[in-house]
């Protein structure tokens, strides 16, 4: 009986009324298409019932990568009993240049025994391109999210609603020091009500009742306290119950350290600027003291004051010594205010250096921390960079290396003492600088563990200050030791070799009052000499010194005044202060030299940092350091005129 006469085709023509996709009827073995509905025909370009084609002809439209799948699925249906169903997705290239379109095929073999013994296949097909694209997008988003989770710069963790961790990323383990296995073990201890330390309990209190964020403190597995920023998101199920928590963790320890360092640097820069200005002003005060002490000695030497000469001379000698000591101290202050880190090792008395640094330490340490000092009565000389040791000790006491407990009283005891070679287990006497800290946030810090892990390694960011200290002390031939004496206390010891004091006699300058120099000063006295100094006592003292050589200098209190006067007359020699309120002395001299190229000049300053002495000498400008002595002043003038 033919299928047409059986009414089978009429039945298939009615199927589109119940199915919106493509429908086709085919012979299993030959693949001949017996019927296709309009959707199928329009989609795959198949003719109507009068010109049916074979199913195999669709192979030319299939994407080359999917052709094997099409062939295998078609073959599997021919080798299977009636009632077998196959489903598969195939990509078709229906138009040239068009993106592939996905189609889902659902085929089933049937035995229409009441009509014929032949097994036929019924197929359904529909376009699933959008669905596939969505699935691919979702898959890519999932992969992207997983990649972000695993490679994020923030610590990320997923917790169940009871607090157990079921996924953490690598950064989370780096920040906390706990692996997923460690956290699972802690959770088991918590569930089984086995005692947890306060620090361990912190890892189950990071969650909240909703979205929470803020800074807090956490202890790593190794006991070190770190500053963190946490953010917790809660995800609830359909019943409104917490399903799991999404935790973000960021380590702020390095950031806090940098902030502390920047704050400290700003403070030190302020102190440095203050010290520089103070040194400049003090130099102006020292100038007349230094000059008049020498003038007094010279006057006394020409007077017949038998009863008081020796005593007055002794007093004036002490004034000069005090001026020299103050000058040396000011130079140290200026060097401390420098922003560069050049090394300047010298033999110094360590107790005096540390004692002079106490005001700076008091300005730096937290308000809740007190400083106590006990220095050796005997002078202890060591060969170090005095500015560097003060800066390093400053880093230790302000809390950038050892954190102080918040809102608790702290104490630093700074001391120095000599250790004989027999007690020091050495062949030489040693000097011990000891810093004893009380009230630090180091209750869980195991010093022994850190010593075993090389406490001074550079990669340990929090201990970088110790690494720096250790490096410099070793360069000075010393050793750094660290020990824990109480729950909140540490003792840091700096062991240095004891040096013998070396007294260096000052090299005397040539005496300008002796010898045959009278004719030289006769020449100079006829020159036009200018003194430019914004400090009146310093200006007058220099004028007085020059008057002893019959020189009457013209005095100016500013560079502007000197430049204005140069419009009517030019000098033969200029002695100018460097730092002045308007134009600095160097610029003044250069402007005057533009008008008078043969001008002789001396620039004197309390801080020669940044001054190119070699270049200025080629320009014919001598540089002298404040306070300038009488002999230095006389010598400089004669050198400027080529008379010495």
**Which residues lie below 8 Å from residue 68, measured CB to CB, with a gap of 6+?**
none
* CA angle, 381 then 384 then 388, to 5°: 130
Question: Can you tell me the distance from the alpha carbon of 19 to that of 126, in angstroms, rounded to the nearest whole number?
Answer: 10
Contact 552, 594 (CB under 8 A): no
The three-state (H, E, C) secondary structure of 196-210, written as one string: CCHHHHHHHCCCCCC
Q: Say what the pLDDT of residue 253 is.
A: 76
Q: Say what the pLDDT of residue 399 is.
A: 78
Q: Any idea which residue has 């598969």 for tokens?
A: 88
The three-state (H, E, C) secondary structure of 11-60, written as one string: HHHHHHHCCCCEEEEEECCCCEEEEECHHHHHHHCCCCHHHCCEHHHHHH
Torsion of CA 522, 527, 528, 532, to 10 degrees: -70
Nearest partner of 563 among 581, 541, 583, judged by Cα: 583
Nearest partner of 246 among 154, 175, 177, judged by Cα: 154
* CA angle, 62 then 66 then 71, to 5°: 85
Q: Say what the pLDDT of residue 321 is.
A: 66
Question: Can you tell me the distance from the alpha carbon of 362 to that of 307, in angstroms, rounded to the nearest whole number?
Answer: 49
Q: Say what the pLDDT of residue 454 is.
A: 43
Q: Say what the pLDDT of residue 413 is.
A: 92
Task: Please give the model's pTM, rounded to 2 decimal places.
Answer: 0.37
Encoded tokens for 317: 């000698």
Encoded tokens for 24: 């086709």
Q: Any idea which residue has 């912190």 for tokens?
A: 202
Other beta carbons within 10 Å of 489: 17
Residue 626, CB-side half-sphere exposure with 13 Å CA sphere: 29
Contact 585, 603 (CB under 8 A): yes
Contact 545, 500 (CB under 8 A): no
**Which residues lie below 8 Å from residue 524, measured CB to CB, with a gap of 6+?**
549, 551, 573, 637, 638, 641, 643
Contact 570, 596 (CB under 8 A): yes
Q: Say what the pLDDT of residue 267 is.
A: 65
Max intra-chain CA distance, the chain: 160
Question: Can you tell me the distance from the alpha carbon of 253 to that of 237, in angstroms, rounded to the nearest whole number?
Answer: 36
Burial (Cβ within 10 Å: 0-12, 13-18, ≥19) of residue 498:
buried
Q: Following DSSP, what letter does each residue of 302-319 receive, concatenated?
A: HS--TTTHHHHHHHHHHH
Q: Say what the pLDDT of residue 209 is.
A: 46
Question: Can you tell me the distance from the alpha carbon of 513 to that of 629, in angstroms, rounded to the nearest whole number?
Answer: 13
Burial 369-404 (b: 16+ CB within 10 A, else e): beeeeebeeeebbbbbbbbbbbbbbbbbbbbbbbbb
Nearest partner of 559 among 523, 579, 542, 583, judged by Cα: 583
The distance from CA 455 to its chain's CA centroid, rounded to whole angstroms, is: 20
Other beta carbons within 10 Å of 303: 10
Contact 489, 440 (CB under 8 A): yes
Mean pLDDT by runs of 10 across the 644 residues of the chain is 50 61 87 86 68 78 91 86 89 84 91 66 90 84 76 79 75 83 79 75 60 71 79 74 75 74 67 64 70 71 60 67 64 58 75 80 80 88 87 82 81 91 74 90 57 43 66 87 84 89 43 56 90 87 88 92 93 90 86 90 77 80 83 88 82
**What is the DSSP pairing of strand 85-92 with strand 381-384?**
unpaired
Question: Can you tell me the distance from the alpha carbon of 201 to that of 537, in angstroms, rounded to the nearest whole number?
Answer: 70
């Amino acid at each position: 009986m033919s299928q047409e006469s059986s009414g089978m085709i009429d039945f298939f023509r009615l199927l589109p009324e119940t199915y919106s996709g493509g429908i086709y009827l085919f012979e299993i073995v030959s693949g001949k298409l017996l019927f296709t509905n309009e959707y199928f025909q329009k989609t795959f370009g198949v003719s109507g019932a009068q010109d049916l084609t074979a199913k195999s002809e669709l192979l030319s439209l299939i994407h080359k990568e999917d052709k094997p799948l099409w062939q295998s699925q078609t073959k599997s249906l021919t080798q299977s009993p009636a009632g077998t169903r196959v489903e598969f997705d195939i990509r078709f290239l229906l138009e040239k240049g068009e993106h592939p379109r996905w189609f889902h095929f659902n085929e089933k073999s049937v035995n229409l025994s009441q009509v014929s013994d032949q097994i036929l296949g019924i197929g359904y097909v529909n376009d699933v391109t959008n669905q596939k694209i969505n699935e691919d997008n979702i898959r890519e988003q999932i992969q992207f999210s997983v990649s972000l989770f695993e490679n994020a710069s923030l610590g990320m963790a997923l917790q169940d609603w009871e607090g157990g961790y079921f996924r953490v990323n690598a950064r989370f383990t780096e920040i906390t020091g706990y692996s997923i296995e460690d956290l699972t073990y802690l959770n088991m201890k918590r569930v089984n009500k086995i005692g947890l330390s306060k620090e361990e309990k912190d890892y189950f209190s990071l969650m909240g009742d909703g979205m929470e964020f803020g800074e807090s403190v956490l202890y790593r597995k190794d006991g070190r306290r770190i500053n963190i920023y946490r953010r917790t998101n809660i995800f609830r199920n359909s019943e409104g119950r917490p399903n799991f928590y999404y935790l973000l963790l960021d380590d702020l320890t390095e950031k806090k350290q940098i902030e502390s360092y920047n704050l400290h640097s700003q403070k030190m820069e302020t102190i440095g600027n203050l010290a520089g200005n103070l040194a400049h002003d003090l130099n102006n005060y020292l100038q007349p003291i230094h000059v008049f002490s020498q003038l007094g000695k010279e006057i006394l030497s020409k007077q017949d004051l038998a009863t008081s000469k020796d005593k007055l001379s002794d007093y004036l000698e002490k004034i000069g010594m005090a001026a020299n000591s103050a000058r040396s101290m000011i130079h140290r202050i200026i060097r401390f205010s420098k922003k560069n880190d050049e090394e300047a090792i010298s033999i110094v008395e360590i107790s005096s250096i540390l004692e002079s640094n106490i005001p700076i330490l008091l300005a730096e340490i937290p308000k809740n921390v007190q400083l106590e000092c006990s220095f050796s009565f005997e002078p202890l000389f060591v060969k170090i960079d005095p500015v560097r040791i003060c800066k390093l000790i400053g880093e230790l006491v302000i809390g950038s290396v050892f954190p102080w407990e918040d809102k608790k009283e702290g104490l630093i005891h700074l001391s120095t003492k000599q250790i004989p070679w027999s007690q020091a287990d050495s062949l030489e006497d040693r000097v011990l600088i000891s810093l004893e800290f009380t009230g630090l946030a180091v209750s869980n810090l195991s010093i022994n563990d850190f010593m075993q892990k090389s406490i001074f390694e550079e990669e340990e960011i929090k201990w970088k200050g110790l690494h720096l200290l250790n490096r410099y002390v070793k360069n000075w031939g010393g050793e750094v030791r660290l020990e824990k004496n109480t729950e909140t206390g540490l003792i840091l010891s700096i062991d240095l070799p004891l040096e013998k004091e070396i007294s260096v006699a000052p090299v005397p300058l040539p005496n300008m009052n002796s010898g045959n120099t009278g004719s030289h000063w006769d020449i100079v006295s006829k020159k036009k000499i200018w003194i430019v100094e914004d400090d009146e006592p310093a200006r007058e003292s220099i004028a007085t010194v020059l008057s002893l050589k019959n020189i009457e200098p013209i005095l100016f209190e500013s560079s502007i005044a000197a430049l204005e006067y140069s419009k009517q007359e030019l000098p033969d020699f200029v002695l100018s202060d460097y730092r002045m309120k308007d134009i600095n002395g160097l610029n003044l001299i250069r402007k005057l030299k533009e008008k008078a190229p043969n001008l002789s000049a001396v620039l004197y300053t309390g801080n020669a940092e940044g001054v190119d002495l070699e270049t200025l000498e080629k320009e014919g400008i001598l540089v002298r350091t404040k306070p300038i002595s009488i002999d230095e002043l006389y010598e400089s003038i004669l050198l400027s005129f080529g008379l010495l």
